[in-house]
Structure 1
Amino acid sequence: MTFVQLIDCKTSRFDEMNRLMDRWVEQTKGKRTATHDIIGKDRSDPAHFIEIVEFASYEEAMQNSNLPETDRIFQEMVALCDEEPTFTDLDVVRDEQLNVLAARAFFEAMGRMEPGRIGDHLTRDYVDHDPSYPQPVQGIDGIREQYEGWRAAFDFTFRIDDQMAQDDQVCTRWTWVAHHKGEFLGIPATEQDVSMRGMTWQRFREGRICESHWLYDRAGLLEQLGVLGQ
């Protein structure tokens, strides 16, 4: 079970504490077990800071705490605080990365969504980068036209193979499975079942996608349709 520790402290010497944390990171390289570390400053009290440290488990957190470097740095950190810091130990019982869920919902909807609804997932100033097109597509109307073309040529679904998230960005690795039912790039319908693997990097704003970069095996798709490799 994921474990999170909250360290609540007050200090007027944060710059020194920040340098201390950099030194701890350097000294424990290859030994520390923390997977994520965030420090936030209280908007209403500039001397109030909360550090959120994530570990894969409580046992790994204890392993980290028992490092001699951690003990030394902790003593120095306490000396920089205006008062004794407090610690809260939390077992994570629910963890949802909302942008990841929004990206998954977008891909799951792509195979059945009416073209007019694609704007439900995108910002008005959405930008789409696709290596198959000479210029980025700007706005919802442009991407709706693209989507209509794919929907006219194929019945398809996306299978999510993997996802990673950082800040406001989500990267999704996917497999596209389709049936070729209509003209595509001048190729008449073949009634073939085809597939294609790809990856999409997306940036989010207020829960909607504002930018996408697509990478996929278009040559492999054309080969399956009998255009290449003959």
Structure 2
Amino acid sequence: MPAKTDIEQLRAREERMVAEVWNEGDMDVLEELTHEDYVGHWFSMEGGDTDRDGLRMFIEETRKGFSDFHMDIEFMVAEDDMITVGFTTTGTHDGEFMGIPPTDVNPGETPGIMVHRVEDGKVVEGWATWDALGMMQSLGLVPEQFRITDFLETGVTMARQGIMRRTADDD
């Protein structure tokens, strides 16, 4: 049997990341597939880049907030040491997620894209984005159609309900 090409290895690694880490919650596989010095350039509750521990915490928080969380790969494009994965996620918001109390709503499919750079068989750098606004609208937290005043009013309401909290670090 011929050896897998680098591109085939990238694709297989991403399939494992989605199936075993995101869908099954196996954090040992996360440790195996990501470098200890991993840097994630995506939304972090603390702001700025995140490390492998931050990625682990985000995945765990996502799986707690959506106990039936599931990610499907829609497409993969790989070249050299980079792979891009288009995905959709589903799950019922039945636990706290990013400070938002459970709504018991399944927002339907939420699309997103993640990009990973791999060195020596491990993910060293990642970028990701997803339709967080669409998800918030589907959960009923943000109106489907709104003006800036509606958006600000929603923010004030969420703050009063303790959903959005200002901390001393925000000053």
Aligned to 2:81: 168
3-state SS, counterpart of residue 97 of structure 1: helix
| Cα gap change, 1:177 to 1:111, in 2 (>3 Å) | same
- In the TM superposition, what whole-angstrom CA distance separates every residue of 1:3-52 from its partner, at most 9, and x where no partner exists? xxxxxxxxxxxxxxxxxxxxxxxxxxxxxxxxxxxxxxxxxxxxxxxxxx
State the TM-score, normalized to the length of structure 2.
Answer: 0.72
Aligned to 1:85: none
- The counterpart of 1:221, out of the listed 118, 135, 138, is 135
Question: What is the one-letter code of the residue matched to 2:126?
Answer: S
The answer to whether the Cα contact below 8 Å between 2:112 and 2:129 also exists between their aligned partners in 1 is yes
Question: What is the one-letter code of the residue matched to 2:30?
Answer: I
Aligned to 1:127: 39
State the TM-score, normalized to the length of structure 1.
Answer: 0.55
Number of equivalences: 137
Pair 1:101-2:12 in alignment: yes
Aligned to 1:158: 71
Question: What is the one-letter code of the residue matched to 2:71?
Answer: F
Aligned to 2:111: 197
Runs of 4+ in 1 over 4 A off after TM superposition: none
- Equivalent positions of 1:11-160 (< 5 A) are 97-109=8-20, 110-115=22-27, 117-131=29-43, 133=45, 134-138=47-51, 140-155=52-67, 156-160=69-73
Matched-pair identity in %: 24
3-state SS, counterpart of residue 163 of structure 1: strand
3-state SS, counterpart of residue 91 of structure 2: strand
| Cα gap change, 1:132 to 1:142, in 2 (>3 Å) | closer
- In the TM superposition, what whole-angstrom CA distance separates every residue of 1:149-197 from its partner, at most 9, and x where no partner exists? 1121113111111110110000000101111110123322122222210
* Structure 1: gaps spanning 5 or more residues: 1-91
The answer to whether the Cα contact below 8 Å between 2:89 and 2:111 also exists between their aligned partners in 1 is yes
Question: What is the one-letter code of the residue matched to 2:62?
Answer: W
- In the TM superposition, what whole-angstrom CA distance separates every residue of 1:73-127 from its partner, at most 9, and x where no partner exists? xxxxxxxxxxxxxxxxxxx9x8661111111210122121234542122111111
Relative to its length, the structure with more strand (as a share) is 1
Taking only aligned residues, the RMSD between alpha carbons, in angstroms, comes to 2.1
